[in-house]
Chains A and B, each alone.
Chain A
Amino acid sequence: MNASATSVTPAAATSAYAWRNQLGTYLGLLAVLAGMVALFSSLSEYFWSAETFITIANEIPALAVMAVGMTFVLIIAGIDLSVGSVMALAAATSAAAILQWGWTVPAAAALALATGLVCGTITGTISVAWRLPSFIVSLGMLEAVRGSAYVVTDSRTQYVGDAISWLSAPFFGGISFAFLLAVVLVVVAQLVLSRTVFGRCVVGIGTNEEAMRLAGVDPRPIRVIVFAMTGLLAGLAGLMQSARLEAADPNAGTGMELQVIAAVVIGGTSLMGGRGSVINTAFGVLIIAVLEAGLAQVGASEPSKRIITGFVIVAAVIVDTLRQRRAKV
C-alpha cells in the first residue's frame, strides 16, 4: 500500500495481526450469544437453568454437524440445499435396515453414513463434471432424495425404538454422546480448515479458482470431497436425529438446509466463498438454538418466532459485513 513500511515484522507480530481480527469475531459472536442469554433470562425465570442448557445441547448436534459440512461448501463458493433431505434418507435407510432387513445396529449406522456419503458425492460429481452451479444440482437432489426417503419409509414414520438411542441419551452430566461428537467434529474440522493442505486448498479455491488451477492445484477432486464430506455429515445428522426421536420420519429435516445455511452465515462465512471458520459456525448454531429455545420459553407463538428469527439472521450478517469492511481499510 505504501512505501514507508518496508521491513518485515517478526513472526510473533505477524500472527498477532491475524489474531486480532480472529479474536474480534469470536468476541463479537460471544457478545451476541451472552446478550441473548441475558435477555431471555430476564424475560423468563425458567430460562437460566441447567435444564434449559442441557436441552439446547442435546437438540443441536444434528444442526451442528451439518453446519460443519456447509461451512466448507460455502467457503468453496458452493451451496448444498440437499442436506435436510439427505438427513431424512439416511435415517430412513438405517431404520429400514434395522426393522425390515434385520441388520445389526452398527451395520445400519454404517449404512446411514454411506447413504449420506453417496448423496454428497453425487451432488459434487455432477456439479464438477458438468460445471453446473451446486445450487441447481443440490436443488434437484433436495427433491430426489426426499422422494427416496418416502420410498424407503413407505411414507410413514418408522419407529426404531431405543436401538440407537444411546447416541443421544444423557451420558455425562446430562450431556449426550452426540453433543460430544459434534464438539469434537467442530474442533477437528476447524483444524483441518486452518492447518492442513486440504483446508488451504479449500480456502484458495473459494478465493480464486483459476489462480489455484494455475498454481498446480486441481480444484475438481477437492470440490467433490467437500460435497461428499457434507453428505457424510448429513448422514451422521440423520442418525443423531433418529436416535433422539427413536424414529425415522420421511419429513424430518424439511427446510432444515436453510437453518443450516443461516447458522453458517451468522458465523460470518461468506456466501461468495474464500472466507469462513468452523468455530464461528458453531457460534452461529448456538445463537439459533438459544434463540429458538428462548422464544419458546417466553411463550412466543410460532409465527412470531419465525419473524424474529428472520430479523436476527439478517441483522447478524449486517453486523458481520460492516465489521469486515472496517477491517479491510
Chain B
Amino acid sequence: MPSTSPPAPPTPLLAIQAVGKDYTATVLDGVNLELFAGEVLALTGENGAGKSTLSKILCGLEQATRGGMLLDGQAYAPASRRDAERHGVRMVMQELGLVPTLTVAENLLMGRLPHRMGWLNRDALHTAARAQLAKIGMGSIDPATPVSQLGIGQQQMVEIARNLQDDTRILVLDEPTAMLTPRETNYLFEQIAHLTARGVSIVYVSHRLEELRRIADRVAVLRDGRLVDVRPMAGMSEDDLVQRMVGRVVSDLDHRPRRPVGPVVMSAEGLGRGTVVQDVNLELRAGEIFGIAGLVGSGRTELIRLLFGADRADRGSVTLHPEFESKQPPALNGQASVATQIIATTSTTARTIARGFASPLQAIAAGVGLVTEDRKSQGLLLSQPIRINATLSDLSAVSRGGWLQRGLESRLVQGFVRTLGIRCRSAEQPVGQLSGGNQQKVVFARWLHREGRVLLLDEPTRGVDVGARAELYGELDRMASEGRALLMVSSDLRELMAMADRIGVMSAGRLVAVFERGEWSEQSLLAAAFSEPGGRADTTPSKPSPATA
C-alpha cells in the first residue's frame, strides 16, 4: 500500500480515549488511539495482548469499563453489534458467522432480504449478491450455492463481502487472511485499497508481519493490555515489530542446520482416498520435521487424516518400521547418539497395515498423535478445564483400575502448564477461555502426556501470535531432538522453511515434490504447489470429508 499518511493534524474519525476493560483481571488499560479517515491502521500484538478485546469494544461486542470513544467528535459507546453497525462500524470476525445451510446470497443479505409482502424476491436477491461478490473479485461464485459447499477460504471471502456495505465507515478485520490463498489475499487487499480511497478506515488485526508491511499505513502494538507503540509502518522492520510485541528478541530460525538423519519410523506407500489424496509415498524419520506445503484444498489435511486413521484410505498402506516399536524415546544426550540408540533397541520387524490405521484409536495405541487443524471443533473440549483436556490422550496413565487419580493428574498437568508456559488462572480453567496460543499449548500437552513415535501436526500455529509461536517452535524442536518424527502441515512457507528438515509439496491430492533442507527456495516451493499433476483432476477446493467411523 502506498503510505498516504494523513495530512498534518486533521480531526480523527475515531478517537479512543483512555479505554480500559476489566474482567476479573485488567485486559485493557489506558489505551489512547486515533483512527483517521481512509487509513489502514494495523493492530498487532501477542495473543492476550488485548487486540481482540479492543476491536470488540469498537464494534459493540464488548463494552469498555473505563474511558470512552469519540466518533466524528460525538461520544460513541455502542451497546451492541447492531448499534455499532448503525454508526457504520463493522467487523469481520475470525470465526465465521455464516449459516452453512443457507445460500451465499441469503447469507450476504441476511437481515435485509429483498421481498414482496414476505415472499423472497430471488432475482433481486441474486442480483444484489452478485454485485456484492464482484466487489471483492469473487464474481465467479454462484450466489445460489449453499455456503457449506464452499471451501473455507471462499467462506471467509463471503464473510468479508457481507461487511463491505456502502454505509461502512470503519471496517475491523480480525485475522482476515488466516484461511485465504495468496490470490484471495490479493483480491482482499485490492478491495481494501478501494475502500480507503473512498475514505473508509480499516482496523487490521493480524499477526502476519509481512502482510502488515503490504497493507498498513500505521501500526499500533499492544502488549499486556497496554499500547506500546503507534507509528507509521514505513521504516519499521519486522525485527522492530516483533521486539515491540514480545518485549524481547526472537532468534532467527532461518539458517539452522539440518537435524541429524534418523532411521525411517513410519512410511506410506501409495496411500490414497478417492481423488482427494492420490498415490502418496513418504517416509517419516526419527528426529526430524517433515513439512507439508500446498494450497488449501490440495489434500494436506486429508493426507494427515489418512495417516492417523481418522479417515480410512481406500488404497495403499502404512508401514511401521522396526524403529517405530521402540517405545522409549532416547534420552536427551547429544544429537549424534539419537539415531544409533534407536537402532540399538530395534528388534521386531516392519509391520505393514493395508489402507492405514482403521481408527485414531489404533494409531494412538501404536504411538501416533495428531494436532488437528481446527482445535476448537476437533481438538478440544472447550467447556472443560485444561486438566481434562491435557490427559485425554492417555487416561490409563492417570487412573488405577478405572478410577482417576485426581492428585496425580493435577500434578502432571501442572507440570505441563509450567514447562509449556500455558497462561491461565489455573489448570481448572476451561480451555475455551484461553487465547489461541495457549489452547494450542494444551493440545501439545496432550501429546507430551502420551509420548509416541510420530506426531502429525496440521497448521499448528494458526491463530497463534508471534511470541507464542516461538514457544511452540521451541517445543517442536525439543520433541524432534528427543527422537520423535514430526510431520507438519502449514500454509506459512516461512514457518516451514524455518522449521522443517524436508518439505513435501502437495498439489491436487498428490505429493508432487520433496525438497531437502538447503535445496528449496520460496519460489521452488510455490512453483510446486501451483503445478498441476496429471492435468486438471480436481480443481474445486475440497473440504475435509466427514469422519467415517
Contacts and interface: CB of A to CB of B under 8 A. Distances in A.
Interface of A: 1-6, 8-9, 11, 13-15, 17-18, 131, 195-198, 200-201, 203-204, 207-208, 210-218, 220, 274-275, 329
Nearest to B407: A11
12 contacts: A2-B25, A3-B423, A5-B424, A17-B429, A18-B385, A200-B388, A207-B383, A211-B372, A213-B547, A214-B360, A215-B446, A216-B393
B209 interface: no
Given A211-B372, A213-B547, 16 more contacts: A4-B224, A5-B424, A14-B387, A15-B428, A196-B399, A196-B402, A201-B395, A204-B392, A207-B382, A207-B384, A208-B382, A211-B379, A214-B360, A214-B379, A216-B393, A275-B383
Contacts of A131: 549
A197 B404 CA distance: 6
B224 A204 contact: no
A274 B372 CA distance: 21
Contacts of B399: 196-197
A208 B380 contact: yes
Interface string B411-449: 100100110000111111100011100000000001000
A197 B396 contact: yes
A214 B378 CA distance: 7
A211 B426 contact: no
A214 B304 CA distance: 12
A201 B382 CA distance: 15
B383 A210 contact: no
B379 A196 contact: no
A208 B389 CA distance: 11
A204 B48 contact: no
A14 B410 CA distance: 9
Contact of B23 (A1, A8, A211, A216): A1
Contacts of B424: 5, 8
**Leading 6 A-B pairs by shortest Cβ distance:** A216-B364, A3-B48, A2-B27, A215-B392, A207-B381, A14-B426
Contacts of B383: 207, 274-275
B433 A4 contact: no
Nearest to B21: A2
A68 to B, nearest CB: 18
B404 A5 contact: no
Contact of B361 (A5, A18, A217): A217
A210 B377 contact: yes
B428 A17 contact: yes
Contacts of B27: 1-4
A11 B308 CA distance: 35
A329 B62 CA distance: 12
A214 B311 CA distance: 11
Contact of A329 (B23, B384, B395): B23
B403 interface: yes
A216 B449 CA distance: 13
A8 B549 contact: no
A329 to B, nearest CB: 7
B359 interface: yes
B108 interface: no
B360 A11 contact: no
A2 to B, nearest CB: 4
Nearest to A210: B378
B26 interface: yes
Contact of B404 (A4, A15, A200, A329): A200
Contact of B49 (A3, A15, A200, A204): A3
Interface residues of B, number: 62
Contact of B360 (A4, A17, A216): A216
B359 A211 contact: no
B64 to A, nearest CB: 15
A208 B380 CA distance: 7
Contacts of B446: 215
Contacts of A201: 395
Nearest to A329: B23
Contact of A211 (B48, B361, B381, B396): B381
Interface in B497-544: none
A200 B381 contact: no
Nearest to B359: A218
A5 B426 CA distance: 9
B46 interface: yes
B547 A210 contact: yes
A210, A211, A220, most chain B CB atoms within 10 A: A211
B225 interface: yes
A324 to B, nearest CB: 10
Given A196-B403, A198-B402, A207-B384, A5 B25 contact: yes
B310 interface: yes
A200 B395 contact: yes
Nearest to A21: B428
Contact of A195 (B370, B382, B404, B427): B404
B82 interface: no
A2 B48 contact: yes
B360 A208 contact: no
B404 A214 contact: no
A329 B225 CA distance: 19
A2 B23 contact: yes
Nearest to A218: B361
Given A13-B426, A207-B383, A274-B383, A212 B392 contact: yes
Given A207-B384, A217-B361, A195 B403 contact: yes
Given A204-B381, A204-B384, A214 B423 contact: no
Contacts of A207: 381-384
B181 to A, nearest CB: 26
B406 interface: yes
Nearest to B418: A8
Contacts of A329: 23
A226 to B, nearest CB: 15
A216 B365 contact: yes
B423 A5 contact: yes
A18 B428 CA distance: 7
Contact of B417 (A8, A210, A220): A8
Contact of A11 (B23, B410, B549): B410
Interface in B319-372: 359-361, 363-365, 370, 372
Contacts of A203: 381, 384, 388
A183 to B, nearest CB: 21
Contacts of A11: 407, 410-411, 414
Contacts of B379: 211, 214
